[in-house]
Amino acid sequence: MKNFEKIYIDSGTTWTKILKVDKEKRYEVIKTSDFKKQKNIKYLKSTGHSLSKEKGIYENELIALSYGARKYLNQGYCVLDLGSRDIKYVKFENQKFSQMDWNSSCASATGATIEMLLKFYDVKNEDLKFNKEKYAITCGIFGLERIMDDVAKGIEADVAISKFIHGIAYNAFNFVKKEPKICVSGGFCENKCFLDSLSNYCEVVPLGRFVLVDGLYEMDNLNNYI
Amino acid sequence: MKNIIGFWGYPRKELILEYKLKYKDAQFIDLDIDYSYPKLSLTPDNYCVIIKNILNNAYYLKDNLIAILAPVGKDKCDSAYFVSELLKKEGFNVIQSIFEDKCPDINNLKTPISDSALPLKEKIELITKNIIEQKDYSTLPKTKAEFGFWGVPPNDLEILNLFPDNTSVFGWVRAVEAGYPGDFELESYAKENLPTVFFCQSFCSKNYLAKYLAQKYHGLYIDIDSTPTNSAKAKIEAFLKLR
C-alpha cells in the first residue's frame, strides 16, 4: 500500500472525506462507520462531528470551510455547507469575515434524512427532479409526515421527496439570509434536485464535498492568509 | 441555622452594606450561579437558566437563608421581579432592590477589571465577586483590547476560556463594575472596530439588544441556554480566529 505523506480528514456523521497528498492529491469518501474501524491512520489535520478534538490536529468546521472556500468568499459569495445533520455558512465582506451561522440542532432534516427516505421508498437520487412545489419543513419530523401522507394518497415517492428537498433548499436560502450568490459545499452538491431547487432562489455554485479537507490542507500549507 | 444572605444581580450598595453590618457572620451567596443543587423544574422548561438557578438555590438553602436581596428593576429583569414576588408568597424573606441609577459620564468610568489583562473568566468572576466585597482593583495592569465580550455572566463560564486574555468586558458586567447595573446606555456601550461577541442567555429579553448591537458593531451574536453546544463554541472560535 502506498504511503501518503499527508492525510487530512473531515469525518462527518455519515460520510468521511479524506484527502491524501503525496506528489498528487487523492480524494476519497468512505462511510464514517467504516472509517472508525480503521486503526492507526495518521493524519495531519482533522475536522468533523465524528472525530475527537485533538489539540493541534482538530480544526473547527467553520474555520476549515472558510479556508477551503476562501477564493469564493473573497469574491463575495456566501458559502453554505449542508451535511448529514447540520447546516452552516460563512460570508465575507471586502475580503474580511462578516457573517456566519451554524445550526446543528434544528437542521436535522438534511442529508441523513434524504438518504433514509431514498432507501425507505427505494428511490434513486438521479430520479429526483426539481418540483416547483415545496413542503414547509421547519421541522424534519413534520416533513416526513407530509411525505408519508402524500404517498399514502397516491403521490409518487420521488415527487414527494423532491418537494421535501425543495423545502430544504428554501430553508437553506433563508438560513443564509437570502443571499443572491451561494456556493454549496457538502454531499448536497451531488443532489441535482437540491441544486435546481436552490437555483430557483439564487445563483448557485456547487463546490463539491471536499471543501473542508481542502481547507485543512490550505491551513497546513499557507498560514494566516485569510 | 440561618447564616446565609442570598442575592442575585447587583443589589443596591447601601442594602448590601446594611446587611453586612447587621449580620456580620453571615455568608453572602450569589443565587444566580449553578451550584449543582437539585433541579426543581418549577418554571416552564423553556425559561432563563439563571432564573432556574435562583429558584433551585433558594429552595435548597431555604432553611439557612436570613434574607434574599432581590434586584427587580431594569438592573435585573421582569422574571426576577416575578420570582421575588412568588418567593415572598412561599415564605422567603425577600428584600426587593431597584438599582437604576444613571451613569453621569459614560466616558469617565472606573472599569479596571473589565479592561485588565486577566483571563476573561477571572475578570467576570472577580467583577461578580466584587459586588459584595467592593475591593479596589484600580492597580490592575491594563491590556490593549483585541476582542470584546458583551453580556451577562454566562451560566456555564467555560465558554469564557475560548477567549484570549486581551478581551475586554462590556454589557451588563461592565455596567456592574462601573456601579450602574441599570444604565441602558452603559450596558449598550461597545467599541467600533473591536471584534466583539454579544452573548445572551437563551430566553432572556436582552437577546434583542445583543442581536441589535451585534449587527451594529459587526460582531457575533450568540445565545446559549444552560451549556454551550459544540456549534456555539465553534462559532465563537471561528469568529475570534477569522476576524
Please tell me if residue B238 touches chain A, with a CB cutoff of 8 Å: yes
Neighbours of B121 (CB within 10 A): 18
The residue of chain A nearest to residue B214, with distances taken between CA atoms, is A99
End-to-end CA distance of chain A: 36
In the numeric block, the cell 441523513 is attached to A112
- Which of B162, B133, B223, B230 lies closest to A52, judged by CA? B230
**CA A124, CA B117: separation in Å to the nearest integer?**
58
Task: Flag if A97 and B230 touch (Cβ within 8 Å).
Answer: no
Question: Burial letters for B72-104: b for 16+ Cβ neighbours within 10 Å, e otherwise?
Answer: bbebbbebbbebbeebeeeebebbbbebeeebe
The CA distance from B148 to the nearest CA of chain A, in Å, is 16
The DSSP bridge partners found for residue A89 are A80, A101
The CA distance from B242 to the nearest CA of chain A, in Å, is 6
A99-111 confidence digits (pLDDT tens): 888 886 655 567 8
Give the best-scoring range by mean pLDDT among A9-13, A148-152, B136-140: B136-140
The CA distance from B234 to the nearest CA of chain A, in Å, is 6
Backbone angles phi, psi at A80, to 5 degrees: -115, 130
- The whole-angstrom distance between residue A45's C-alpha and the CA centroid of its chain comes to 19
**CA A190, CA A185: separation in Å to the nearest integer?**
10
- Which of A186, A208, A182, A218 lies closest to A197, judged by CA? A182
Burial class (CB in 10 A: 0-12, 13-18, 19+), A34: exposed
**CA A35, CA B172: separation in Å to the nearest integer?**
47
Are B77 and B204 in contact by the 8 Å Cβ rule? The answer is yes
Please tell me if residue B216 touches chain A, with a CB cutoff of 8 Å: no
Which parts of chain A fold into alpha helices (H)?
32-37, 61-68, 70-73, 111-121, 140-152, 157-175, 192-199, 211-221
Residues from chain A contacting residue B234 (CB–CB below 8 Å): 60-62, 102
- Sheet with B147-150: list strands edge to edge: B167-170, B147-150, B196-201, B220-224
Residues from chain A contacting residue B202 (CB–CB below 8 Å): none
**What was the pLDDT predicted at A139?**
66
> Which of B216, B239, B242, B243 has the highest number of chain A CBs within 10 A, making it the mutation to test binding with A?
B242
- One-character DSSP codes across B113-166: TTTBSS-HHHHHHHHHHHHHH----TTSPB---SEEEESS--SSGGGGGGS-TT
Are A9 and A179 in contact by the 8 Å Cβ rule? The answer is no
- Which of B27, B86, B96, B25 lies closest to B59, judged by CA? B86
Task: Flag if A63 and B239 touch (Cβ within 8 Å).
Answer: no
Give the largest Cα separation in chain A, rounded.
Answer: 57
Residues from chain B contacting residue A175 (CB–CB below 8 Å): none
- Which of B119, B113, B121, B64 lies closest to B93, judged by CA? B64
Of B218, B229, B235, nearest to A62 by CB-CB distance is B235
Task: Flag if A105 and B231 touch (Cβ within 8 Å).
Answer: yes
Please tell me if residue B243 touches chain A, with a CB cutoff of 8 Å: yes
Residue B223, C-alpha cell as written in the block: 445565545
**What was the pLDDT predicted at B23?**
97
**CA A138, CA A168: separation in Å to the nearest integer?**
9
The residue of chain B nearest to residue A70, with distances taken between CA atoms, is B242
Are A167 and A200 in contact by the 8 Å Cβ rule? The answer is no
Please tell me if residue A88 touches chain B, with a CB cutoff of 8 Å: yes
| CATH architecture group of domain B4-97 | 3-Layer(aba) Sandwich (3.40)
Which range (A28-32, A218-222, B56-60) has the least confidence?
Answer: A218-222
Residues from chain A contacting residue B220 (CB–CB below 8 Å): 100
Are B165 and B159 in contact by the 8 Å Cβ rule? The answer is no
> Which of A60, A79, A98, A177 has the highest number of chain B CBs within 10 A, making it the mutation to test binding with B?
A60
**What was the pLDDT predicted at A102?**
87
Q: Is the dihedral of CA B159, B49, A50, A185 positive or negative?
A: negative
Backbone angles phi, psi at A73, to 5 degrees: -60, -40
Residue B154, C-alpha cell as written in the block: 454566562
Would you list the domain boundaries of chain B?
4-97, 120-242
Of B229, B234, B243, nearest to A62 by CB-CB distance is B234
Asked if the interface predicted TM-score (ipTM) of this complex is over 0.95, the answer is: no
Q: Is the dihedral of CA A200, A206, A210, A213 positive or negative?
A: negative
Please tell me if residue B21 touches chain A, with a CB cutoff of 8 Å: no
Rounded to two decimals, what is the model's pTM? 0.86
Evaluate if residue A76 carries a pLDDT over 80.
yes
Q: What is the pLDDT along chain B (243 residues), one digit of tens a residue?
A: 899 999 999 999 999 999 999 999 999 999 999 999 999 999 999 999 999 999 999 999 999 999 999 999 999 999 999 999 999 999 999 999 999 999 999 888 999 999 999 999 999 999 999 999 999 999 999 999 999 999 999 999 999 999 999 999 999 999 999 999 999 999 999 999 999 999 999 999 999 999 999 999 999 999 999 999 888 998 999 999 888
